[in-house]
Structure 1
Amino acid sequence: MHLAMILTALGLAWCLRCTGLEPSGTWTQRWQRSFGLFLFPPLLLIVTAIAVICMGADGKMGGLQAGWFSYSFAWGFLGVAGILCLKLAHEGWRSVQQTRTYPQIELEGKLGRLLNASVLFSAQIGFWQPELVVSQGLLETLDRDHLEAVLAHEQAHYYYRDTFWFFWLGWVRQITAWLPNTEALWQELLLLRELRADRWAAQQVDPLLLAESLLLVVSVSPVQSESFCAAFSAVAPRNRLEERIEALLAPSEESASPSLWLWHWILLGFLPLVTVPFHT
């Protein structure tokens, strides 16, 4: 019976990820659709594995005998997931330690770190309390107004704690890389993250200045992982850059309240735990 639970969860996760991903609708609609499709399948798999482990390898469920194969499989899946989490956390910790070797400077009344490089780069690097990192090339190239626009965008990443939440989403990406559309959904979420930061920054500075800064600051990020680094602009498909600029120049979109169906799907991900009391 436990094996049937695992196979059902795997089949459902695969089918949901095969759902067509069309980047259409408002920002809120796109975010809820992409976030739900990205998070629900791994959540279902993780909770199913936890339920199987809680029930153990002995006993029966629904009249069928439990076995060591499904129990070992569940432990193996969670073990691999745990190792990948530790690996990603170690990479992030090393990045934070490297960042702290950079000299500290003050920018618009806020502390940051100075990267001695000619590339035009700015980013929040870290986890819950990320640090702002800007390059020498950025400070030498941008005037005060354009620099203020870039810093407003980075402040938006800090406000939404993007580095913290995308660390966990990056972990989800790694443990479900074998599922369909994982990379497509990840790229969509990254784009929507930047669109949200742009929209927040556009309330603080002139959107046109922000769009001009975006065209100027297109460079290779010194930090490879976007799970704990929220950079203003990194190398990306041209359509992502164009969409961000078009969104800045278009009338601002009214924010909609989160749809209840998204929370219903998240709650459904915990449904396998309901089967635990039926194990005898």
Structure 2
Amino acid sequence: MHLMMIAIALVLAWSIRLIPLNFQGTWGQRWQRSLFGFLVPPLILVTTALAIVFMGTEGSMLGFPAASGLSYGLAITFLLITLIYGNRLRDRALKTCRKIGKYPNQIIAGNSVKFLAIDLPYVAQIGFWEPQLVISQGLLDILDPEQLTAVLAHEQAHLQYRDTFWFFFLGWLRAVASWLPNTEELWQELLLLREIRADLKAAQTVDALVLAESLLLVAQAPGKSSFNFGATLYSSLNGDRLSQRIDALIGAAQLPNHNNLYCWSWLFPVFIPWLAIPFHS
């Protein structure tokens, strides 16, 4: 039965990822579809493995032999690989944070930032729950005070949504599920939607047109291919992110309310493997 659970989880995860991708619609619709397609398949595999490990190598289910050394070994192996990927990403992130911590502190537009004395325009939140804001001289050189305020409002939105924290875990699932179909396509879509969300949140406190103008200025700056306004402005998988972000700002797209149970009800399939535990004896 445990081997059957593994087989069902694999088929379900693969089938969900084979659902045709749809990158059309409102910001909220795209966000929900992309999160479902990205999150649910690997989480089903993880919860299935956890359920099998919890039930152990002995016992029966509904009168049939349930456990086997093979199923238990597969579950343990998958969870160990998952932990290895997570530890590797954590070490890489901590190394980056330590490196950023060595840069000098400055107060820019009332914000304490880590300052990079480079010509490349760069701004990003780097860290986990309480990230550090990093700004380069190159960014200060091309933006006037009003534009800089708009960019900082965008970065403040990332902080408010704890994007660095949550996308660390999404990146973990990306590594674990890299072998599933459409992993990279969904990841790139989520990166774009994360930036649109921060843009729309910032537009509640600053002029949306000024923020759009700042994006254009950065896109036209030398070395823009390495620029990090949260993410690069072009992706080969989902095209011109710049135009999509500007369209959302100019079109006054709205941020939907996701603080309700209905918006997260699509996570229910993730917990289905745990329903088998009471039937194991």
TM-score (norm 2): 0.92
What amino acid is the match of 1:115? L
| SS of 2:88 mapped into structure 1 | helix
Change (3 A) 1:233 1:267: closer
Tell whether the 8 Å contact from 1:214 to 1:233 is kept in structure 2 after alignment: no
Match of 2:243 in 1: 242
Match of 2:253 in 1: 252
Deviation at 1:236, TM superposition (A): 2.2
1-structure distance, mates of 2:127, 2:146 = 26
Deviation at 1:24, TM superposition (A): 1.6
Match of 2:124 in 1: 123
Deviation at 1:253, TM superposition (A): 2.5
Change (3 A) 1:263 1:202: closer
Which segment is superposed worse, 76-85 or 25-34?
25-34
Deviation at 1:255, TM superposition (A): 2.5
**Structure 1 ranges of 4+ moved more than 6 A:** none
What amino acid is the match of 2:15? C
Match of 1:173 in 2: 174
Match of 1:142 in 2: 143
Deviation at 1:208, TM superposition (A): 1.3
1:231 and 2:218 equivalent? no
Count of aligned pairs between the two proteins: 273
Deviation at 1:149, TM superposition (A): 1.3
Note the 1:178-193 alignment, pairs <5 A. Answer: 178-193=179-194
Which segment is superposed worse, 203-212 or 160-169?
203-212
2-structure distance, mates of 1:216, 1:232 = 15
2-structure distance, mates of 1:262, 1:43 = 17
Structure 1 vs Structure 2 CA RMSD: 1.7
1:23 and 2:23 equivalent? yes
1-structure distance, mates of 2:35, 2:160 = 19
Unpaired runs of at least 5, structure 2: none
Note the 1:21-100 alignment, pairs <5 A. Answer: 21-62=21-62, 63-100=64-101
Change (3 A) 1:106 1:87: same
Match of 2:107 in 1: 106
Deviation at 1:231, TM superposition (A): 3.3
Which segment is superposed worse, 30-39 or 74-83?
30-39
1-structure distance, mates of 2:87, 2:276 = 30
Change (3 A) 1:174 1:259: same
Percent identity of the aligned residues?
48
1-structure distance, mates of 2:258, 2:3 = 39
Change (3 A) 1:155 1:239: same
Tell whether the 8 Å contact from 2:28 to 2:255 is kept in structure 1 after alignment: no
| SS of 2:103 mapped into structure 1 | coil
What amino acid is the match of 1:171? W
1-structure distance, mates of 2:263, 2:203 = 27
What amino acid is the match of 2:103? Y
1-structure distance, mates of 2:263, 2:207 = 33
| SS of 1:29 mapped into structure 2 | helix
| SS of 1:145 mapped into structure 2 | helix
Unpaired runs of at least 5, structure 1: 223-229
| SS of 1:24 mapped into structure 2 | coil
2-structure distance, mates of 1:198, 1:243 = 11
